[in-house]
């Protein structure tokens, strides 16, 4: 996985597989990424964050990507039974975990014929997750244990009024709001973005965090679904883009809240619809006081490509938002 530089042309080449999961894109770096040493995935993510932020930006930001892209750096796993390790990142930094990205990863590895149908372990910075590859596109992620940390937290949003929400962990920290006056509909995306950004600002202003000071960098709103789903969501991601998929870690956090409230039982299926209409099926089981989420979704391959970093290009390492 050494970064390949051609001495004559100063072109650096990075091999990627692009996919989308329910409309949300994932770009997996399969070769040409930086060497991060031999620590566990959490330690290697710190090396990546501290030393290779230009590489992150080059892979997902314009001119090769855009605000909505999530990247994944394929790594050697640390866990002896895992088939792969992954470090996810987006337009502004590294992520803890990514559900749609893990579905995209499994589909990408299947496309490369590196993953057969069946159950496999994947190492991430926040723990080992399981992927079940049902066929070349359909994947279930058994995510990290998820839980509600606080319920009914009140925030004053100024012009948007007061909202109440739950704080839950699903591999990332979420603030989840189900009671609000907004239309969770694709025609209303600009306003939903403004509303959720005001929640993000209020969380930061009031120093409201997840457990151990974890930054709440994803905001989730819920509304009535269309068609065959239980709920529709709008998810604001850390870099200001909205998730086109129902958000795997967000659906895990939602599941933890639903089960804590007794709204769904262990094993019962919850169909979470995204703002653009794509659906994840979710079910959970209790493990002590945490929920083990199983999130099923579908991903498709879009491209198998070589990114070229030309040292003469002033925007080679990406345009940061
Ligand atoms: O699916 O977990 C997810 C996710 C996080 C950010 C974007 N998608």
Whether the pTM exceeds 0.85: the reply is yes
Residues of the chain scoring pLDDT < 50: 1-3, 5
- Residues 40, 85: Cα–Cα separation, whole Å: 9
pLDDT given at position 321 = 75
**Which tokens go with 177?**
């709001």
pLDDT given at position 10 = 86
Residues 6+ apart with CB under 8 A from 201: none
The number of residues in the chain equals: 321
Model pLDDT for residues 249-291, shown as the tens digit of each residue: 999 999 999 999 999 999 999 999 999 999 999 999 999 999 9
Q: Which residues line ligand 1 (CB under 6 A)?
A: 24, 70, 98-100, 237, 243, 245, 247-249
Which residue among 93, 140, 247, 298 is best mutated to probe the pocket of ligand 1, counting the most ligand atoms within 8 A of its Cβ?
Answer: 247
The Å distance, Cα 94 to ligand 1 centre, comes to 12
Terminal Cα distance for the chain, rounded? 28
pLDDT given at position 1 = 38
- Tell which atom from ligand 1 comes closest to the C-alpha of 21: 1
Query: Residue 60: which H helix or E strand, with range?
Result: helix 53-60
Helix and strand numbers, DSSP H then E, in the chain: 5, 16
By the 8 A CB rule, do 217 and 173 touch?
A: yes
- Closest Cα to atom 8, ligand 1: which residue? 247
The Å distance, Cα 100 to ligand 1 centre, comes to 5
């Amino acid at each position: 996985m050494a970064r390949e530089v051609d001495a004559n042309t100063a072109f650096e080449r990075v091999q990627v597989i692009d996919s989308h999961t329910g409309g949300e894109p994932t770009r997996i770096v399969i070769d040409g990424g930086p060497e991060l040493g031999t620590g566990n995935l959490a330690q290697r993510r710190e090396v990546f964050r501290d030393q290779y932020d230009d590489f992150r930006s080059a892979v997902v930001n314009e001119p090769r990507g855009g605000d909505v892209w999530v990247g994944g750096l394929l790594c050697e796993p640390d866990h002896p039974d895992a088939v792969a390790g992954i470090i996810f990142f987006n337009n502004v930094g590294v992520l803890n975990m990514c559900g749609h990205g893990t579905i995209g990863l499994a589909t990408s590895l299947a496309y490369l014929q590196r993953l057969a149908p069946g159950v496999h372990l994947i190492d991430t910075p926040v723990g080992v997750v399981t992927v079940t590859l049902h066929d070349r596109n359909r994947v279930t992620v058994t995510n990290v244990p998820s839980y509600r940390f606080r319920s009914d937290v009140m925030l004053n949003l100024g012009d948007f009024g007061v909202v109440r929400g739950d704080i839950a962990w699903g591999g990332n920290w979420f603030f989840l709001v189900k009671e609000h006056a907004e239309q969770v509909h694709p025609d209303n995306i600009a306003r939903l973005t403004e509303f959720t950004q005001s929640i993000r600002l209020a969380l930061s202003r009031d120093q409201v965090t997840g457990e151990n000071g974890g930054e709440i960098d994803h905001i989730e709103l819920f509304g009535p679904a269309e068609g065959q789903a239980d709920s529709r969501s709008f998810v604001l991601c850390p870099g200001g883009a909205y998730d086109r998929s129902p958000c795997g870690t967000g659906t895990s956090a939602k599941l933890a809240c639903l089960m804590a409230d007794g709204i769904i039982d262990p094993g019962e299926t919850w169909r979470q619809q995204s703002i653009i209409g794509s659906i994840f099926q979710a079910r959970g089981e209790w493990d002590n006081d945490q929920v083990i989420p199983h999130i099923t979704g579908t991903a498709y391959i879009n491209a198998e490509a070589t990114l070229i970093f030309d040292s003469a290009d002033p925007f080679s390492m990406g345009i940061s938002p």
